[in-house]
Amino acid sequence: MEEGLQPDARAKGAMGSGARAKGLVLGSIAGVVATIVIDLIMMGYLLFKGQPADDGFAVIGDTTAGFFSLFGIEVAGGVAAGVVWHYVIGLALGVIFGAAVTRIDALRLSSMKKGVGLGILYAEVISLPLLVMPPIILQWTASAAAQVFGFYLVMHAIWGTLLGVIVSYGLRSTPAARQG
């Protein structure tokens, strides 16, 4: 005999739908804010090195165009496309993080430290496939790829840190603070 639907078997402390919605909003905000911050750092760094500030966006746009061309899809490359793609990716990855930390009990952000750690881990793991694409698609030399790969890792660690801080802070428990 088939059993009917069972009640939610998650722990009592599991986050409800209000916290989930808040996680999505916080994730989207954090993803965009973190992207703005790393973009400003990247542009300053490129200017310091004597390169055009928008070179990073050109790499993103050209890589995206090259990736889609592998499937016979024509999309524009260049700076404008790079800016759009960078912010779409930052927003989307922020939303996914916000959803994950409010839906999966083991990922629940019980402290700022855990939020930062998970944010960095998430950013580094999820961005690795994206970071190896420019050298492959744009056919960089191994030397050129090695020079920028470390910079990419640092920028995405900063992105993950900001993501974790913003989402952790936004999801923190406030009832105790209201009672005190």
Confidence band (pLDDT; 50, 70, 90) for 15? low
The pLDDT value given to residue 19 = 84
pTM for the model stands at 0.85
Task: Answer yes or no: is pLDDT of 126 > 80.
Answer: yes
Condensed to tens digits (0 to 9), the pLDDT of residues 69-108 reads 999 999 999 999 999 999 999 999 999 999 999 999 999 9
Hey, CA dihedral for 106, 107, 108, 114, is it positive or negative?
Answer: positive
Name which of 5-19, 63-77, 133-147, 164-178 the model is least confident about. 5-19
The domain locations on the chain are 18-172
The pLDDT value given to residue 3 = 52
Which residue is associated with the tokens 């629940």?
Answer: 108
Is pLDDT larger for residue 14 or for residue 131?
131
Condensed to tens digits (0 to 9), the pLDDT of residues 25-70 reads 999 999 999 999 999 999 999 999 999 999 999 999 999 999 999 9
Spatial separation of the C-alpha atoms in residues 110 and 106, rounded to whole Å: 10
Task: Answer yes or no: is pLDDT of 127 > 50.
Answer: yes
Tell me how crowded residue 106 is: count the other CB atoms within 10 A of its CB: 6
Count CA atoms closer than 13 A to 145's CA, side-chain side. Answer: 12
| Closest to 93 in 3D by CA, of 44, 33, 16 | 33
Name which of 18-22, 97-101, 165-169 the model is least confident about. 18-22
Compute CA 3 distance to the chain's CA centroid, rounded to the nearest angstrom: 41
